[in-house]
Structure 1
Amino acid sequence: MSISKNPLTNYFKKKNIVDNVEEVHEVEIQSNSIEETEALHIKRLKPNELTDSTINTTDDTNTASTISLTAASSILSSSNERDPCHGSTKAKDHILLGPFQPKTNFPTVNGRRFRSEWYNTYQWLEYSLALNRAFCFPCRLRNNCKYDDAFANTGFSHWKNGRARFNDHQAANYHKEAFEIWKTGLQNYNNNTDVLKLINQQHSKQANENRMYLKEIIRTIHLLARQGISFRGHRENADSKNKGNFLELLELRSNDNELIKTKKEEIQFTDHKIQNELVELMSKQVTNHMVKEIQQAKYFSIMMDETTDISKLEQVSLVIRYTDDQYNVHERFMGFQRTTAMTGEALFNLLLE
């Protein structure tokens, strides 16, 4: 008895394909000339399928998989934070950059597409790469447009009537109001920036002039101190014929120094307390320099002598002799110090100070 044989094709089952798919989403990568970043574009289905319609594919082993426009838009919009699909919050974050106006190969729907030359006519116009829709930046920024929600929130995509709708929107009072608020905000920001910049520049100039004037004060004090000339006069008021060496020398220098002439009337820095403070700082600087030389010397000696001043207090003079690396002898007078005792311990502690 012969055995019937089944053909090999009986062991295979033909897959089912959904017939209602008219157009497959294709993902392309386009360059954004403005942002110089890469953004994904999805070709749209028919106008009646622009909602969250899906494409389902099934086979014997795999469950149905869904690709939605909403999910795709979410992925695409994440590539650029300025994309209008992010709403009012992101518009406020990028208010200084203005409308998002990419120039690229815009997708075609029913033979119509967005045109980049519209940017030149409508400076408020912006385009969403993620949604393939147009928005109004000022209205989206204001986020309270009750009359034309398309340009503020959902987006406009009827390109056939594009210019007519753009003109109608631009002529509307609510748009003019939002546009004025946007431009006024930019102007105020720029004005505030300019004012702050001028204030900072003026402050820096003023601080630099004050430093230069203080240097002139220090130079004058240094000259008097080095020459051992007294600073103050008996009377230093404006009516005095002799205000003392310090003020008289400044007055003389102001004849050929415009900075001193101007500043001595404004900030002065001529008070006797300031003079004493500057002299004290100079004294410390000189003392530190001499101490550094003495510390480097191989040989040195200390001489201390005492005398009583008019107030019956003991004044101790301190002189140090030392040699440098060339064995040249130097003698430095370190100054007078008051003391209440003349014991060896008291003088030693005075020397340490």
Structure 2
Amino acid sequence: MPPKKKLSGAQFKQIREEKKAAAVKNSGNIQQFFTRKLPSTQTAQSQSEDENDELNREQNMEVQCNDTLSETDSSNQHRVGQEEDSIEINFNNPKTWKIDKNSIKLYIEQGPINGDDISVYPVTNNRRFEKKWFTRTMTNGEKVHRNWLIYCEQLDSLFCFPCILFNDDRSSIWLNGFNDWQHLNPYLPRHENSTSHRSNYIKMKTFEKKLKCGGFIDDHLLKEFDKERAKWRHILKVILDAIFHCVKNNDALRGSSEVIGRPDCGKFLNTIELISHYDATIKKHIETHNKGTISYFSPAIQNELINLAAQQVQSHIISDIKAAKYFSILFDCTTDISHKEQMVQIIRYVKIENKKCTIEESFITFINTEEKTGEGLSGEILDKLRKDGLDIANVRGQSYDNGANMAGKYKA
């Protein structure tokens, strides 16, 4: 056998370049395991993946139905998502709806506003929607109301209520509005009998049943929240009743101690203790109350509740005065125990209720003043009437103390 010929340097260089080119060429194949791109010609494979995506979407919607109530409203809400107490929702215009977990619950609780109470529908392209499409005639002659169908008067279009809430394909004409009245006959029955519509309708009914029967995972948690909310509302109601009892009898609320049960704790806390003998919720609240926890028994809370109640009373009185239109004003200055000058505001007016007229003389508030001159006092009176929304032109009588000052005798 002849000896093996040794390769030249050029040949070694060529072999290295070929190996390098092969390595670069094969390195692209590994990327296919991470980023997979399908050619447009692979129709069968695309359809298979579409079916898998559809199955995943259906499974996700089932999870969505079971988890819709998992997020609780931390700011009391209603009850309409967290912003339902401040945002007005048009339940007849699905284009303005926000689709999320909390909103779906709200829409199903409200139910679709079909728009079947309109007497005459508008004309579009020489055609109009007719009310008969809200009723489906079955093969046996039975008539069934299409309660899932929504006619939006604002957009003059039809929408499908369950598909809006549970359909993943947001490009459907029944989610964006259908108003081709000329071809409504084939499109409406075709959509009604479609697999996606039936699936979404079943999801809506299942969701609705769970709302009524309490079949969600976090129903027990929500019930605990409701119990806690009811407990604190009951406690606040008892505290308000105790405050009103002391106020009606013109009693001082506080004593020298803030510990319930001590002789010097004051009439308010003594009243709370008396109520606890007959109210198990208040008794438990007192027994479990520790220093640093919320009790609503503190003087700051008492003053806040009194101020809130005073604002409601003042608002009611001002409303009666505005309804009467004409009124008389009475202002009197006096010095309190801390030697601060206070001006009392009293208004007289005629109140008509149940066809009976009565003359009311209502105390409004105390006005802290440092003015002594007629000009200064009159300015404060006008400012207070302006804040109350009362027109000085409707004043029909005036009464003041410090007559010399109000007459303008002392201006400085």
Q: TM-score normalised to the size of structure 1?
A: 0.45
Larger Cα Rg: Structure 1 or Structure 2?
Answer: 1
Q: TM-score normalised to the size of structure 2?
A: 0.39
Give 1 or 2: higher helix fraction: 2
